[in-house]
Amino acid sequence: MSQDPAGPGGPYVVLAAAAARWDLVEGRLGPDLRARLAALLGVVRDADRPPGLRRAAAGDAADLLRERLPDVFGQEAQARLVPGGAVDGPLLVEGFAAEDLAVLLVDGHRMVGPVLGPVRARLLAEPALDAGTVLEHGSDPFAPDLIRLPGVGGQLRLPCFQFTEGVRPRPVVREVNALLAADRDPWGAADWWLSANAWLGTSPVRLLGTGGDRRLVDVAGFLLESE
């Protein structure tokens, strides 16, 4: 490719811009284009692939967007974009990175950008089990009262705090998760458990196993009533 990957109009800038403009772009991606982009983005963010291969995949993905959506990603439009971001960090366009496009398209959720992206990273950094491990221990990983967070490639991660050492779901966690509608908003439910709570004086997860189970249910219930 002739463009500087890090410069205005370069492939990483195009991918970051597509994430920033997802509401405009999403409806214009047909099934074939979505599949081709998803495959390329899987290579772009695979840290085990050679850097040259990842750059080439980013270039191919950007070329697809330029070809199919020239009004948004054509040369004239992209020349006006000035990427930002830290010197050693990812290129950003309006606070969005190329990785965010993979999250939107492949992982299938909107925890991206300058506000929600750091929340996603923090929650996915928590110890978690995969669905197969939970199933092997006799529990249903797809129960509606368990939190399932889509990680890289959409692979489900079930935060460990929901389970005992024997990988059995904690009854109080299931009760609270039901109140928090974890099946519809798993990120919000996980953030509730893992963030400081003014009413409790600590993060709810720290009270698990301390005899304060009913307080957790009561506080979650208050949250539901206040909405």
Tens of pLDDT, residue by residue over 5-45, are 545 558 998 999 999 999 999 999 999 999 999 999 999 99
Per-residue pLDDT at 53? 95
Query: Within this chain, do residues 102 and 21 fall inside the same structural domain, yes or no?
Result: yes
Q: Exposed (0-12), middle (13-18) or buried (19+): which is 91, by Cβ within 10 Å? A: buried
What is d(CA 77, CA 93) in angstroms, rounded to the nearest whole number?
A: 13
Residue 73 is predicted with a pLDDT of 86
Q: Is residue 88 part of a domain?
A: yes
Q: Which residues contact 213 (CB under 8 A, 6 or more apart)?
A: 172, 207
With 50 as the cut, is the pLDDT of residue 87 above it?
no
In a domain, 119, yes or no: no
Return mean pLDDT, the chain: 89
- For 32, the domain range is 11-113
Spatial contact of 4 and 88, defined as CB atoms under 8 Å apart? no
- Percentage of the residues of the chain whose pLDDT score is greater than 70: 88
Q: Is the pLDDT of residue 119 over 70?
A: yes
Report the alpha-carbon distance of residue 39 to residue 105 in Å, rounded.
10
pTM, to two decimals: 0.83
What is the pLDDT, as a whole number, of residue 69? 92
Of 92, 113, 134, the one marking the end of a domain is 113
Cβ–Cβ under 8 Å, residues 171 and 181 = no
Distance (Å, whole) CA 181 – CA 130:
21
Q: Which residues contact 217 (CB under 8 A, 6 or more apart)?
A: 172, 175, 176, 179
Asked if 65 and 148 sit in the same domain, the reply is no
**Strand 149-150, strand 156-159: pairing:** antiparallel
Structural domain includes residue 48: yes
Q: Which of 108, 165, 174 is nearest to 140 (CA)?
A: 174
Which of left, alpha, beta for 169 (phi over 0: left; psi -120 to 50: alpha)? beta
Q: Are 22 and 105 in contact (CB under 8 A)?
A: no
Question: Per-residue pLDDT for 88 more than 60?
Answer: no
- Per-residue pLDDT, 165: 92
The reply to whether 66 and 137 lie within a common domain is no
Are 130 and 108 in the same domain?
A: no
Q: Is residue 120 a part of any domain in this protein?
A: no
Q: Going edge to edge, which strands form the sheet with 156-159? A: 128-129, 156-159, 149-150
pLDDT tens profile 149-184: 999 888 899 999 999 999 999 999 999 999 999 999
pLDDT digits (tens, 9 = 90+) for 91-101: 888 899 999 99
Residues 15 and 105 in one domain: yes
Task: State the total domains in the chain.
Answer: 2
Within this chain, do residues 147 and 202 fall inside the same structural domain, yes or no?
yes
Please determine, for residue 81, whether its predicted confidence score (pLDDT) is greater than 70: no
Q: Is residue 99 part of a domain?
A: yes
106 and 15 co-located in one domain: yes
Is 2 inside any structural domain?
A: no
Domain-ending residue, one of 67, 88, 113:
113
pLDDT at 223: 74
Do 99 and 191 share a domain, yes or no? no
On whether both 87 and 177 belong to a single domain, the answer is: no
